[in-house]
Structure 1
Amino acid sequence: MRAARPLLVNTDEIEIWPGGLLRARANHDARALSRARHVLRCKRDGRYLAADLPEGLLPLVQRLMREPGMDQALDALGAIPDHRRSGVDVVGTLPLTRLRDRLEALGLDDSYGERTGLPLVAEPAVLQLAGFDRYRRPLWLHPLAARAWQAMYHAANRDDIVLEAISGYRSHDYQLGIFGRKLARGQDVDEILTVNAAPGYSEHHSGRALDISAPEEPPAEESFEHSDAFRWLAAHAGEYGFVMSYPRDNPHGIVYEPWHWCLTG
């Protein structure tokens, strides 16, 4: 029987990672992470908050219980066995309330979605490990997309085509962090929006989208359309439920992205 793939359990402010996938940043963390069944990680800044050890929860920060979202994270930690038993065939999504509050702070409202035709995208409550990307980072996807990606990846291999994932799931906090850093450098929101989608409006938040390349191809470049990998995707990706979201002259005004594919349905 094939072993179940590791799960990332998602909450509004904290991610719960399976043990063994995060790198330690200090000797104390290294000892804890080497034994951890799970690691609680702050979505806002990437801090490791606690290690779930066989003997109990080990705080990795001072005043752990004052961290925003801890009660929700502890409830989610206790629910992990239920996710494993259910096989995560049905995955809920996180509420959009917190995101809307943060968009309002940036001066963004529903008019952005109306103007671009892009919907707000909720994050999945559970993600599944779908392998590793080009940079050996864990590739997290919605469980349905994880299975579809693996099937498509192996089918391409049988045709002597190597597909490389560049990135998969990205949290709202990840996109908000991009805006925060650019605002700190003196750019305004309108200027940032010419290059980056507003937080909450990327298909990557759903865990159903991934950026794809091939060995020796630069990441996220239009030149990908001339590769054998792209030609294979154009012919076969639909068999696995994936579509290219942003073709030329798409109605959203997004630049042509031959590397960006999303699981539909």
Structure 2
Amino acid sequence: MPVRPTLPVANTLLNTDHIELWPASLLRARSNHDARVLARASRVLRRKDDGRYLAAVVPEGLVGLLPGWSRSHGIDEALDRLEDAETRTAPIDADLAGTLPLRGLRRRLNVLGLDADDYARHTGLELVAEPAALTLAGFDRYRRALWLTDAAGRAWQAMHAAAAAAHITLDAVSGYRSHAYQLGIFERKLARGQTVEQILTVNAAPGYSEHHGGNALDIGTPGEPPAEESFETTRAFAWLTGNAGRFDFHMSYPRDNPHGIVYEPWHWRHAAPGTTPIRHS
């Protein structure tokens, strides 16, 4: 399928249920062959479950980066999304692109032995769909691309600049996470011997994390370990407490929150004016 990109792609992540369409310029080559292909590519089809590169979009069409890539689960949906993006005559507005259906979520919860309805009743958390497109909002402290909705990204950049003007350094620790990524967090912790019940005191079940919606940020500051309660003793946290509301950011998990999630002074969610922040961690 010849594909000739006509629009800049460096600032937009296109999303499908199983595959993300990344700007090639933001990905690291994992082999000499990948490096040669990525140097010419506009986008890369990247599998969510394990991060493997499936294929790259080059001027003359698609180049496979993984044997059997064309038989990958969800590939037809990803190729349809790619074709739609490349035939557009106007830039993609990440905030108007809608959200993905929640297909496959119950399967992910079943892997963990969780019933979606029981979990929602017990925690008061609501399902969070993934955006169909996200905007590059800069980079996190690990130099990874920071993906957020367009509105949340602009608000984060404005808040980051305002803090810097007050001699406060805010680090983004993480932003958008897919349902598949959240499941991976559980799988890694289970492999280390934790129980699902223990993990749920710190991490929401896949499908119930605010990070899925592209509006939530874990925030840190240099010299402070990520996602630790000690963040509340920093000047950065004091500044956020007094100023984040001006940028429509709100701390999602105070002490003794009704969802059974531990206190998270580092976790902040953007809620556009006129909306009520929804608690999903």
Give TM-score scaled by structure 1 length.
Answer: 0.93
Q: RMSD in angstroms over aligned alpha carbons?
A: 1.9
Q: Name the CA distance, whole Å, in 1 between partners of 2:232 and 2:203.
A: 22
Q: Give yes or no for contact 2:203–2:261 (8 Å, CA) kept in 1.
A: no
Listed as ranges, the matches of 1:54-65 within 5 Å are 54-65=59-70
1:157 CA drift (Å): 1.4
**1:169 paired residue number:** 176
Deviations, residues 65-123 of structure 1 (Å, cap 9, x unaligned): 21111111011112225495243341311111211222134321211111111111111
Listed as ranges, the matches of 1:184-223 within 5 Å are 184=191, 188-223=195-230
Stretch of structure 1 that moved more, 75-84 or 150-159: 75-84
> Is the aligned partner of 1:93 residue 2:99?
yes
1:201 CA drift (Å): 1.1
Q: Name the CA distance, whole Å, in 2 between partners of 1:83 and 1:6.
A: 17
Q: Name the CA distance, whole Å, in 1 between partners of 2:140 and 2:261.
A: 24
1:225 CA drift (Å): 1.3
Q: Name the CA distance, whole Å, in 1 between partners of 2:25 and 2:224.
A: 30
Q: Give yes or no for contact 2:9–2:43 (8 Å, CA) kept in 1.
A: no
From 71, 78, 103, the equivalent of 2:109 is 103
1:245 is paired with a residue whose SS is strand
Q: Name the CA distance, whole Å, in 2 between partners of 1:250 and 1:178.
A: 22
Could you tell me which runs of 5 or more consecutive residues in structure 2 were left unpaired when the two chains were aligned: 1-7, 276-281
Q: Name the CA distance, whole Å, in 2 between partners of 1:47 and 1:239.
A: 39
Q: Name the CA distance, whole Å, in 1 between partners of 2:231 and 2:21.
A: 34
2:82 is paired with a residue whose SS is helix
Q: Give yes or no for contact 2:95–2:133 (8 Å, CA) kept in 1.
A: no
Could you tell me which runs of 5 or more consecutive residues in structure 1 were left unpaired when the two chains were aligned: none
> Is the aligned partner of 1:133 residue 2:140?
yes
> Is the aligned partner of 1:149 residue 2:164?
no
Q: Give yes or no for contact 2:253–2:264 (8 Å, CA) kept in 1.
A: yes
**1:261 paired residue number:** 268
**2:278 paired residue number:** none
Q: Name the CA distance, whole Å, in 1 between partners of 2:174 and 2:30.
A: 23
Deviations, residues 205-224 of structure 1 (Å, cap 9, x unaligned): 11100011111122111111
Q: Name the CA distance, whole Å, in 1 between partners of 2:187 and 2:231.
A: 30
Q: Give yes or no for contact 2:10–2:23 (8 Å, CA) kept in 1.
A: no
> Is the aligned partner of 1:11 residue 2:16?
yes
Q: Give yes or no for contact 2:9–2:23 (8 Å, CA) kept in 1.
A: no
Q: Give yes or no for contact 2:211–2:217 (8 Å, CA) kept in 1.
A: yes
Q: Name the CA distance, whole Å, in 1 between partners of 2:262 and 2:165.
A: 32
Q: Give yes or no for contact 2:29–2:38 (8 Å, CA) kept in 1.
A: yes
Listed as ranges, the matches of 1:222-237 within 5 Å are 222-237=229-244
One-letter amino acid of the structure 2 residue matched with residue 260 of structure 1: H
Listed as ranges, the matches of 1:16-31 within 5 Å are 16-31=21-36
Q: Name the CA distance, whole Å, in 2 between partners of 1:133 and 1:198.
A: 23
1:183 CA drift (Å): 4.1
Q: Give yes or no for contact 1:5–1:128 (8 Å, CA) kept in 2.
A: no
One-letter amino acid of the structure 1 residue matched with residue 103 of structure 2: T
**1:113 paired residue number:** 120
> Is the aligned partner of 1:80 residue 2:85?
yes
For residues 34 and 4 of structure 1, do their structure 2 counterparts lie closer, same or farther at Cα, with a shift above 3 Å needed?
Answer: closer
For residues 103 and 213 of structure 1, do their structure 2 counterparts lie closer, same or farther at Cα, with a shift above 3 Å needed?
Answer: same
**1:251 paired residue number:** 258
One-letter amino acid of the structure 2 residue matched with residue 76 of structure 1: R
For residues 196 and 128 of structure 1, do their structure 2 counterparts lie closer, same or farther at Cα, with a shift above 3 Å needed?
Answer: same
Stretch of structure 1 that moved more, 194-203 or 23-32: 194-203
**2:185 paired residue number:** 178
Give TM-score scaled by structure 2 length.
Answer: 0.88
**1:44 paired residue number:** 49
For residues 186 and 230 of structure 1, do their structure 2 counterparts lie closer, same or farther at Cα, with a shift above 3 Å needed?
Answer: closer
